[in-house]
């Protein structure tokens, strides 16, 4: 068992990890051109942060958190999501002192104990952004457009937008009464978890994954019928900004998201080909105060990178291949090995992918290895080459050879040989 990855986790090995790097770089670049800076928070936090931030009636807190006591008897939890930690970091480090808005992004692993299935792992990777200090509807629209822009840059063609407003605490007081009345009439058919939520937070029943509860929830009152004037006006403006950008969206009155901190705008990005959302987000105007800061409007989103990669693979996205070795230097004997070591170091300092033998193989085995890693060129060093200060570089595709210096002029001679092989003019430094 120690040679198997834990259930609900995966290895990203060479051949896969390069594709992930490309995908992650697109999201990071999109965030940075929109003025966001990276924040890196601990993998674990005090459990209270998630109890207060995420909400004790959510599936995340009730069923999915990895919580344990450390050796000091303190309760700590592996982060199940990124927002609460980002809020804590913003407050603890006084990032608000530089003025609002504070814009943060992160690319992190998160942990939830749940049944592994397609697009749902126990260790999953999240890209998220958080914006603090703005209550303006235009910020909601900007974040949605920002995520869609990144999806387009990745070439994803079937990602949509589902949109809703879940109002503010004032709206939800009346809405909770209506929900409680409706679900009480179906209490005998609800699952045990939803029956326990009926008095504490009936909106959580709308997010239940039980097929029976989901069917009952379809007939529940809609939050959009209970929005106060301010929340309704905010939602209309968000839609207006999205319309101005030409962003297509679907209003889903049953969309509430799975975390308690959301207010007003909530949204998800469904993938039609996969049948589930790649991520989502919304406003959480009360969370900063709940965690201990001053009342601060805020919003953000989180994207499941494992799911995004699944979507990219589903549509057969072509990623660039891994970096290919340009020059492999084979060696015969200790002195030749030391020379190869120095020459490869010189090439690495100039960002040229190159390699040499580190396993004590014979010349024939070294050349087989060079062929296996698809080295463009090879160079063999032995006693004669060391004595003359010159060696032959070979183009592995054509078999063409040129003699170059392995002393002070090595780098210029190497570039000249490559230019000759590739038939372009090269001018030495």
State the 10-residue block means of pLDDT for the chain, 429 residues long.
86 92 96 96 94 74 87 94 96 95 97 84 96 97 96 93 93 86 89 85 82 88 90 97 96 80 93 91 94 95 96 90 92 97 96 96 96 96 97 95 95 94 59
Three-state SS letters, 10-51:
CCCCCCCHHHHHHHHHHHHHHHHHCCCEECCCCCEEEHHHHH
Asked whether 327 and 347 are in contact (CB, 8 A), the reply is yes
Q: Which CB contacts under 8 angstroms, 24+ apart, belong to 31-37?
A: 31/103, 31/105, 31/129, 31/146, 32/105, 34/103, 34/142, 34/146, 35/103, 36/103, 36/104, 36/105, 36/129, 36/131, 37/103, 37/104, 37/105
Specify the CATH architecture of the domain 17-168+228-314: 2-Layer Sandwich (3.30)
Q: Give residue 422's pLDDT.
A: 83
Specify the CATH architecture of the domain 327-421: 3-Layer(aba) Sandwich (3.40)
Give the tokens for residue 12. 């990203």
Radius of gyration of the chain (CA): 28
Strand order in the sheet with 354-356: 354-356, 327-331, 377-381, 390-395, 401-405
Asked whether 70 and 76 are in contact (CB, 8 A), the reply is yes
Q: Give residue 378's pLDDT.
A: 97
Q: Which residue(s) pair with 197 in the sheet?
A: none
Q: Give residue 269's pLDDT.
A: 97
Q: Give residue 176's pLDDT.
A: 85
Give the tokens for residue 319. 């990623």
Domain spans of the chain, in order of start: 17-168+228-314, 327-421
CA distance 174 to 375: 69
Backbone angles phi, psi at 378, to 5 degrees: -130, 155
Q: Give residue 258's pLDDT.
A: 63
Q: Give residue 307's pLDDT.
A: 95
Question: Could you tell me the end-to-end alpha-carbon distance of the chain, in angstroms, rounded to an integer?
Answer: 56
Reduced to 3 states (helix: H, G, I; strand: E, B; else coil), residue 337 is helix
Asked whether the CA dihedral 190, 192, 196, 202 is positive or negative, the reply is negative
What is the distance, to the nearest Å, from the Cα of residue 179 to the centroid of all Cα atoms in its chain?
35
| The pTM of the whole model exceeds 0.75 | yes
Q: Which residue(s) pair with 270 in the sheet?
A: 277
Helix axes 137-154, 17-33, angle to 10 degrees: 150
Give the tokens for residue 15. 């051949």
Q: Give residue 56's pLDDT.
A: 64
Q: Give residue 1's pLDDT.
A: 64
Looking at residue 170, what DSSP letter applies?
H
Give the tokens for residue 257. 């998201």
Q: Give residue 68's pLDDT.
A: 92
- Stated as kind and residue range, the H or E segment containing 401 is strand 401-405
CA distance 23 to 12: 13
Q: Give residue 57's pLDDT.
A: 62
């Amino acid at each position: 068992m120690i040679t198997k990855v834990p259930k609900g986790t995966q290895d990203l090995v060479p051949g896969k990890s390069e594709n992930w790097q490309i995908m992650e770089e697109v999201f990071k670049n999109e965030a940075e051109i929109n003025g966001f800076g990276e924040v890196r928070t601990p993998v674990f936090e005090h459990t209270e942060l998630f109890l207060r931030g995420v909400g004790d009636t959510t599936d995340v807190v009730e069923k999915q958190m990895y919580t344990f006591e450390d050796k000091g008897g303190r309760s700590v939890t592996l982060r199940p999501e990124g927002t609460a930690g980002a809020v804590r970091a913003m407050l603890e480090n006084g990032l608000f002192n530089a003025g609002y808005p504070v814009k943060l992004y992160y690319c992190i692993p998160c942990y939830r104990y749940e049944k592994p299935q397609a697009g749902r792992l126990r260790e999953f990777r999240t890209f998220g952004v958080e914006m603090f200090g703005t209550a303006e509807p235009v910020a909601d629209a900007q974040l949605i457009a920002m995520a869609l822009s990144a999806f387009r840059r990745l070439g994803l063609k079937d990602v949509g937008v589902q949109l809703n407003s879940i109002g503010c605490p004032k709206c939800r007081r009346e809405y909770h009464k209506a929900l409680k009345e409706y679900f009480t009439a179906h209490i005998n058919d609800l699952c045990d978890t939803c029956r326990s939520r009926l008095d504490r937070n009936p909106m959580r029943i709308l997010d239940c994954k039980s097929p029976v509860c989901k069917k009952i929830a379809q007939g529940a009152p809609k939050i959009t019928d209970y929005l106060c004037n301010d929340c309704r006006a905010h939602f209309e403006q968000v839609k207006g900004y999205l319309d101005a950008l030409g962003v297509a969206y679907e209003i889903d009155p049953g969309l509430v998201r799975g975390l308690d901190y959301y207010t007003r705008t909530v949204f998800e990005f469904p993938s039609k080909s996969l049948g589930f959302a790649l991520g989502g987000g919304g406003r959480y105007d009360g969370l900063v105060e709940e965690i201990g800061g001053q009342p601060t409007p805020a919003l953000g989103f989180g994207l499941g990178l494992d799911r995004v990669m699944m979507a990219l693979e589903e549509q057969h996205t072509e990623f660039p291949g891994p970096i290919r070795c340009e020059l492999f230097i084979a060696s015969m004997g200790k002195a030749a090995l030391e020379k190869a070591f120095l020459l490869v170091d010189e090439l690495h300092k100039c960002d040229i992918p190159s390699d040499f033998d580190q396993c004590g193989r014979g010349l024939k085995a070294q050349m087989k290895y060079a062929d296996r890693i698809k080295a463009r060129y090879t160079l063999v060093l032995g006693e004669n080459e060391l004595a003359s200060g010159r060696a032959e570089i070979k183009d592995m595709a054509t078999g063409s050879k040129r003699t170059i210096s392995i002393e002070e002029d090595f780098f210029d001679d190497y570039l000249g040989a490559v230019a000759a092989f590739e038939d372009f003019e090269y001018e030495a430094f």
